[in-house]
Structure 1
Amino acid sequence: MRKLKKISMVLLLLAVPGPAAAQEGPLSVPESEMVYVYLKPEARTAASQLTLGDVAEVSGFNEELIGRLKELPLGPAPLPGDSLALARSDIRRIMIAHRIDPVNVALVGENRVEINRSGRVISKDDLTPLIEDYVRRCWSEKNVRTEIMYSRLPEDLAVDSENFVIKVLDPVKSMLSGSVAISLAALQDDRILARLPVSLKIRVWQEVAVLQRDLHQGEILTLDDFSFEEREITGRSGTPVTKAEQAVDKRLERSVKAGQVLGLENLENPPLIERGAEVTLIVQYKSITVGCLGKAFQKGRLGDRIMVRNQYGKNLIGEVRDEHTVVITP
């Protein structure tokens, strides 16, 4: 009898639904309260933040709930040119976090949506070829070897556009070297979308004339006085001699030590007439030409106008024609 009572009690418990069974049963929601969210297989956005309206079609009769769902924030969008995936479970979890009862929402369509963001990411690989080309143009027609070392190069930068070009904004600067800053920009129809400042050091080597011995001011250079070697000319002021004809038969304006790079700024064409030299003065006036002796009060090269004094003590200005002659034209 006792065993029969126990069996009857077990059967009674199995027949009565408990709390758990009651929660799992379907709940009846009026059709007027239901909202349907159709998840697309793919979605595209240009915004930096995602909403449910970007990735799904929301419909139903509950306008207030439809509005809330369309504006439901789903988090940051992928970077321009990148993508991410959202699953139904992710969206359901976000709805609950924003106090939207998922019982009133039917998630239908795809199980996950692939979200793509329009735009491009500018990387270092996009910038370095432009900088190298800019440096080459700064040294165009110069036989040099350059090395670029970057101290500041922007990390990957996302731009919310696909149709743009990247350009160096700085004008070309002849013989640019040393520590410099260069500004690049992403441009769309001449409108700047993003600025890209770059800091770098440009090192430069060139075959230049190097003196073989100590030379003093006023000496005339010959081929034996210098040779050509590759030297670093980074940050050097002045222009180094790179061809023999630039230096041979030129006169030094100042003394230079052996081993130093010879610069064009150190050289001058020797004057045809030295200060204090006796010269022949030719005075030309219309069809009349008169010659007399005179003295140069300035040194002068071919074509220079210098001051002279004639044999009668009068100071005149004339043009150097050769190493002995100055022409006076009133």
Structure 2
Amino acid sequence: MKISTVILGAALFILGPLAAFGQTAGVGVPSTAPSGPASVPAAPALIRDNVIVKDNVIRVGDLFTNAGPNADKVIAYAPNPGRKAIYDVQWLARAAQIYGVHWRPMSMRDRVIVERASRVISRSEIEDYLLSSLIGAGADPDLKLEVSNSALKLYIPQEDAPSVAVEDLNFDPMNNRFSAFVSAPAGDPSAPRVRVVGRMVRVADIPVLNRSLRPGDIIRKDDISWIQVETNRLQRNVLTDAGGLIGMAARRGIRARLPVRGTDVRRPVLVPKGSLVTMILHMHSMTLTAKGRALEAGSLGDAIRVANTHSNTIIDATVSASGTVSVTITPAPTIALR
């Protein structure tokens, strides 16, 4: 939060009550002082180090305990919602003298920090108001709002209902960029205005991994998360369907939360290169089997070359299961299986 600092020099003691309470670092102050002699409370007063006020004014009793009969006297305007005011030891000493508060500073570093009770209107809430105004100005409702002010937020008094005014909106439909001023609460002419700039972009939901994978790791359904990406930044080979990921294996290491390309994954290898496999040939009512060695790695449905371990005959086969291949029918299939 921004902090307004109350600075009071030696002139405060010369100019009197109006000087003491007429200037609060940019915050207006009522000039009301108590009439007649001030009574001093029996018990010594203490300062309150940190104060949160709900009203738009600060009273003597907000700053001091045991403030006496003048506790309800207005001493200054409260800071704007979301801001703080710091009252230093000289300011407090003069205030105690004027309003009859029996207080003496313990050190020159004594101070009171006053904050206005407020509620925050978040960036997402402000974006909703902006989007509504932009759609009214002709923006495509299917586009996503992107605001440049990353720390955008507004403060309103705690008792006010949240509302945001969007003013001086300037929208360029050619490049979908905009600028505007926002303030809260809506309808309050004294509310600070904040300039906002941004653009409208078309986005797509794409699947990503919620954990990093090593080569060969199988992608499961619960490994999938979704993110939104600008469509004009998507590469052509980025996978946009979760069905293209689930059940696949990482061809190389894949980092979490990044778009996955088609070349990053492959079907799981069921037959590693050089592994022993069972060759199966279904022929009419007869099934023949033999042992072979895979000369290539293969996934389900891949055609690979296999060498018969008995005859060293090389044949073409199709991967049908883990460690199993189906032999391609040839005019003389039994020869290959011998």
State the TM-score, normalized to the length of structure 2.
0.35
Q: Looking at CA atoms only, which structure, 1 or 2, has the larger radius of gyration?
A: 1
In terms of fraction of residues, the more strand-rich structure is: 1
